[in-house]
Amino acid sequence: MNYLPNIIFLIILAVGIGYFVNNIKKLRRNIKLGKDIDVSDNKPQRWKNMTRIALGQTKMVVRPVAGFLHIIVYVGFIIINIEVLEIIIDGIFGTHRIFAPLGTLYDFLIASFEILALLVIVAVILFWIRRNIIRLQRFIKPEMKGWPKKDGNLILYIELVLMLLFLTMNAADYQLQQLGAAHYTEAGSFPVSRFIAPIFEGLSLSTLIVVERTAWWLHITGILIFLNYLYFSKHLHILLAFPNTYFGKLGPKGKFKNLDAVTQEVKLMLDPSADPFAAPAEDAADPEKFGASDIMDLSWVQLLNAYTCTECGRCTSECPANQTGKKLSPRKIMMDTRDRIEEVGKNLDANKGKFEDDGKQLLDDYITREELWACTSCNACVEACPVSIDPLSIIMDMRQYLVMEQSAAPSDLNNMMTNIENNGAPWPFNQMDRLNWKEEL
């Protein structure tokens, strides 16, 4: 017996999976660059969110057309993976259609894969048209120029090719079964590929086998390549949507976190018994930096958010600032964050795991102040995101840095804050006039 194909298969599989594991390790390391944050609370609610939002796609269908097409591709990919399992077993042991003995169930499975594959092809073509012919607004914003646009299309091409290879493989197999070729026992039901099979009419057995084998090999290699493409693509969301919706923000959207470090200081300031001149305790840690100017100042959940972003632009299209022509785009906030994490990650790779200052940061080098100050904190982006990303929290953390570390708020806001400090209201009114309205009743 010739074991060469099995060995080649094992090597391809090992390389593909090995490289993927490597990617995941890097991903973990990069996400952990973020600050620790306690998200161990309310597990039942978190599981519920994950099930509803990621598994159940509840947020996707808010936009029915895109939502429906997405569900087709999503279900298609999950289900067709059962086929990948068969391919892997066949590849390792040199069998052919190892699940065939399942009989009618097998027929049913193969038939449903084929129908799903066809639906996926249709959905992918429609997606492509939306991006490239109809040119939906949210896909042609400035931050989508270059790689993000290519990435979006590339994913569609890969999916299309994979589905076509799958159907070609089945069509050739079907034809071989009809011809009674050895090794190709009759198994499966081919509601879609039987219509492709006539193309192969008249081909010799050996040519048919070459076609079938080529499609088989390309299909599985393609899947492994796609798996490794994820790390470099917005398509990473197919994995990260699950943890991200799990760790997503709970509770009312209007509730912003209170900074504990500030609480300590404010308590000291307000406490009349505290000695303002007391020397700081010996073991006092370095004063904490307030807010965020770079990705290390964000929490790891915010970094996970960045890697999960699908670049769908639903957030941006709902953003009041973006709609009225301001530079701010919540999607860009997430994309910039991811780009900067990647840059820091590469820096770590190049310097044996130690970060060498590169003179850059997330603020200014990626996200400008103009963007940050345009936000109305309206939460429309958070509401719109189908995978529970919170761009607003990053904007707020960066504002905190600007105000508390740099005193760099726009002058109007500085006036407002001075007013609050001096007279307890954002306007220069006299605190003593607060009740004047009562006289007018």
Smallest distance, other proteins to C-beta of residue 394, A: 12
Nearer to ligand SF4 by Cβ, of 212 and 318: the residue is 318
Residues of this chain, 356-385, that bind ligand SF4 according to CB under 6 A: 375-381, 384-385
Q: Which distant-in-sequence residues (6+ apart) come within 8 Å of 301 by Cβ?
A: 34, 37, 39, 247, 248
For residue 221, give the DSSP letter. H
Question: SS3 of 109, please?
Answer: helix
Of 291, 313, 345, 386, which one interacts with other proteins (CB under 8 A)?
291
Site membership for other proteins, residue 309 (CB under 8 A): no
Nearer to ligand SF4 by Cβ, of 232 and 355: the residue is 232
Smallest distance, ligand SF4 to C-beta of residue 234, A: 8
d(CA 50, CA 74): 15
269 residue type, one letter:
M
d(CA 149, CA 311): 10
Site mask, other proteins, residues 394-413, x = CB under 8 A? --x-xxxxxxx----xx-xx
Which of other proteins, ligand SF4, none does residue 310 bind (CB under 5 to 8 Å by kind)?
ligand SF4
Of 392, 394, 398, 402, which one interacts with ligand SF4 (CB under 6 A)?
392
Site membership for other proteins, residue 374 (CB under 8 A): yes
**In this structure, what token pair is assigned to residue 15?**
């390389």
Site mask, other proteins, residues 258-277, x = CB under 8 A? xx--xx-xxx-xx-------
Nearer to ligand SF4 by Cβ, of 211 and 333: the residue is 333
The runs of H, that is alpha helices, within 230-361 are 237-247, 260-270, 300-308, 314-318, 320-323, 330-350
d(CA 73, CA 312): 15
- Cβ count within 10 A of residue 357: 7
Site membership for other proteins, residue 427 (CB under 8 A): yes
Residues 237/257/36/280 CA torsion (nearest 10 deg):
160
Site membership for other proteins, residue 2 (CB under 8 A): no
Question: SS3 of 367, please?
Answer: strand
Nearer to other proteins by Cβ, of 252 and 353: the residue is 252
Smallest distance, ligand SF4 to C-beta of residue 160, A: 22
Of 50, 69, 319, 402, which one interacts with ligand SF4 (CB under 6 A)?
319
Smallest distance, ligand SF4 to C-beta of residue 79, A: 24
Site membership for other proteins, residue 391 (CB under 8 A): no
Name the one residue in this structure whose structure tokens are 């040519």: 207
Which of other proteins, ligand SF4, none does residue 389 bind (CB under 5 to 8 Å by kind)?
ligand SF4
Of 181, 289, 320, 339, which one interacts with other proteins (CB under 8 A)?
320
Shortest CA distance to 51 belongs to which of 63, 39, 59?
59
> What's phi and psi for 125, nearest 5 deg?
-65, -45
Name the one residue in this structure whose structure tokens are 């607003």: 392
DSSP code per residue over 132-182: HTS--GGGSSGGGTTHHHHHHHHHHHHHHHHHHHHHHHHHHHHHHHHHT-T
Of 373, 386, 393, 394, which one interacts with other proteins (CB under 8 A)?
373
The runs of H, that is alpha helices, within 236-280 are 237-247, 260-270
Is the distance from CB of 391 to CB of 330 less than 8 angstroms?
yes
Q: Which residues are near ligand SF4 by CB under 6 A? A: 309-315, 318-321, 328, 330-331, 334, 375-381, 384-385, 387, 389, 391-392, 395
Q: Which residues are near other proteins by CB under 8 A? A: 251-256, 258-259, 262-263, 265-267, 269-270, 290-291, 318, 320-321, 323-328, 370, 373-380, 382-383, 396, 398-404, 409-410, 412-413, 415-417, 420-421, 424-427, 429, 431-437, 440-441
